[in-house]
Chains A and B, each alone.
Chain A
Amino acid sequence: MTNALDREAVPDSRNPLGFDGIEFIEFATSHPQALGGVLEAMGFRPIARHRSREVELYRQGAMNIVVNAQPADLPRTAQPVERPVISAFAVRVRDADLAFRRALDLGAWGIPVRARAMELNIPAIHGVGESLVYFVDRHDKFSIYDVDFNTIPTVDPHPPALCGLHFFGLVQYVGTDRTADWVAFYSQIFGFTALPNKVRFGIMPKGLLLQSPCRNFFLQLIEPDETARFAPMEEHLQRIGLGTPDVMAAVADLERRGVEFLATEQVHSSERGALTKPLLGSVMFELVKSPAEEPAPQR
């Protein structure tokens, strides 16, 4: 017998990259202080500053948010303007170099190395619109931020999360009839799988949900309304979804800190989820009910 598996189609590993959640999410803005104020209201704390770039790190529990005000030096990347945009997210993988090279083989566009001397070279590919997707490995062995960032003195580098908040997902706006394209992109390069239509989290049910191979992170792809079908294609990462075991407790906690939530007939806070009012033009956070551990799809 030459190959024990040659009589049946045995599928590849569900998680070929060793995908293990999100290391950080990055915003680009030319007004980092204003965004910092919003992030602090949401419970994040400034932790560190980049050694050579105008970049700050905010943290809460296991979540890292990078605020980038450095003018973009690459085509097709987000140029910081006043209105903050989600400009990148970093996925944790078993072997960043392997994941990066595999992505290039499958058709991803890599970006050239930008690290200066003694800085980490974090490989990245172009994602939706002007965004990037980074690959980070060994996140459990050492902190990538120790290399490139100076810690802000006297602050607690590990501020606890409010109400168990953690990264739950990202909402991506896609063009008309483009959902299938992006499903192919995320499934081929990262191993995401599309969830059946009846599986829904939170209070914003539109679009299609993709689940990460580690099952803990979701992408929600949303096409324009019928009336906007003929508008020029606008695609970008729209908002961050934060998971919490108790949405109403988190809403109460955040409201005490000055965060306002949408309270309309269609969209209002409930046990399932909540949505903050947009700030600074378009910055919104969505709260989603989820167990702190591995969230099981609600069927």
Chain B
Amino acid sequence: MNYSDIGMDTASLAGSLESKLAAVRGAGFAQVMISASDVVGHPGGTAAGVRVVRDSGLTITGLEALRDFEGLSGQLHAYKVDVAKSMLEICGQIGGRLLLVEASTSTHADTGLDAIARDLSKLAVMAIPLGIRIAYKGLSWSRTARDFRTAGDLVYRANCPNLGLAIDVFDVLAAGVPQDDLDAIDPQQIFIVQLSDYMWQEARSTEEQVATATHFRVFPGEGAHSEALAQFVTRLDAYGYYGDYSFDVYNDDYLQMPPETVAERALRAAEWLGETVLRRALPVPNMERLLGPAGP
């Protein structure tokens, strides 16, 4: 497979970390997004989990997910800083260069823009010595950033070079964010794009969106919104996004299926994406990093 910039999430798979990584690799993927709980939950301990990831031969898309970080104060803030440090350390240990951060849903969060931007900037500075980038993702049920456009404003405000956006196509498919909102985002600011679909036409209420997002996602090409998803990805591509795609598919059924079977479904999604949507010729030129213009 030549889609080296498309990866799976370990969160989509059942089983031990070893069997998840073997399934991802066995299907032919070159990269994988690691759930922190898979590493620290390893029966042999965190160090053993780290070793398994490092020995897998897979490129690490990143570590997910730091939640409810921004907007807190006092003891709560200090506590979350400790959580963030722990996740950054694990991310560094597994060879990850990206930490996914989901916008806060905490009722304790101060939703003032300056407070959020200050916390995001602090998190980004914390990640600099470890060589990690922070990808901030809006959630439609968040109190601080409901979509990628708001998240983009906050990232712009926080103004740190290793702070960027994670865009989840679910925003567009389920929460009704207009695709045109992409025009407000600098493609350089997008650090990762997460792709998934779902089976029904609409998720109307917030509760329904939360339930759909956390239990009923399917791989791209499997759901009811293939056309909109394809449009969005084509637009990103034309827009100059050259980063990674990862399948953030959280599905309770997939957690009751053999990981190899689920990984095969993911592979079909990657092929659909690469061949039908992005119409890539082989070999894929995207495998190499694009170099900047020569000269000063």
Contact = CB atoms under 8 A, between A and B. Distances in A.
B273 to A, nearest CB: 25
Interface in B155-200: 160-162
Contacts of A129: 129
Given A106-B121, A185-B129, 4 more contacts: A105-B122, A107-B125, A184-B125, A184-B161
Contacts of B129: 109, 126-129, 185
Given A184-B162, A229-B289, A106 B131 contact: no
Contacts of A226: 291
A92 to B, nearest CB: 22
Chain A contact residues (Cβ within 8 angstroms of B): what range?
Answer: 20 to 34
B160 to A, nearest CB: 5
Contacts of B58: none
A138 B215 CA distance: 59
Interface residues of B, number: 16
29 contacts: A105-B122, A106-B121, A106-B122, A107-B122, A107-B124, A107-B125, A108-B125, A108-B126, A109-B126, A109-B129, A127-B129, A128-B129, A175-B131, A178-B131, A180-B161, A180-B162, A181-B128, A181-B131, A181-B162, A184-B125, A185-B125, A185-B128, A185-B129, A188-B121, A197-B296, A226-B291, A229-B289, A230-B289, A233-B131
Contacts of B280: none
A149 interface: no
Nearest to A127: B129
Interface in B248-296: 289, 291, 296
A182 interface: yes
B128 to A, nearest CB: 5
Interface of A: 105-109, 126-129, 175, 178, 180-185, 188-189, 197, 226, 229-230, 233, 235
Interface string B117-137: 000011111101101000000
B240 to A, nearest CB: 16
B85 interface: yes
Contacts of A109: 85, 126, 129
A190 B129 CA distance: 15
Contacts, number: 48
Contacts of B128: 107, 181-182, 184-185
A176 to B, nearest CB: 8
A129 B128 CA distance: 10
Contacts of A127: 129
A197 B296 CA distance: 8
Contacts of B131: 175, 178, 181, 233, 235
Q: Which 7 A-B pairs have the closest CB atoms?
A: A107-B125, A180-B161, A107-B122, A107-B126, A185-B128, A181-B162, A181-B128
Contacts of A128: 129
Interface in B96-147: 121-126, 128-129, 131
Contacts of B296: 197
Interface centre among A108, A109, A183, A229 (most CB of B within 10 A): A109
A109 B121 CA distance: 14
A3 B122 CA distance: 28
A106 B289 CA distance: 32
A184 B160 contact: yes
Contacts of A181: 128, 131, 161-162
Contacts of A230: 289
Nearest to B161: A180
A229 B289 CA distance: 9
Contact of A107 (B123, B161, B289, B291): B123
Nearest to A230: B289
Nearest to A178: B131
Interface centre among B85, B128, B291 (most CB of A within 10 A): B128
Contacts of A126: 129
B58 to A, nearest CB: 15
A198 to B, nearest CB: 9
Nearest to B119: A107
B284 to A, nearest CB: 17
Contacts of B160: 184
A108 B127 CA distance: 9
A108 B125 CA distance: 7
Nearest to B160: A184
Contact of B121 (A107, A178, A197): A107
Contact of B125 (A189, A233, A235): A189
Contacts of A189: 125
A199 B57 CA distance: 44
Contacts of A107: 121-126, 128
Contacts of A175: 131
A194 B291 CA distance: 23
A150 B85 CA distance: 38
B78 to A, nearest CB: 10
A189 to B, nearest CB: 7
A127 B129 CA distance: 6
Contacts of A180: 161-162
A181 B129 CA distance: 9
A106 B129 CA distance: 13
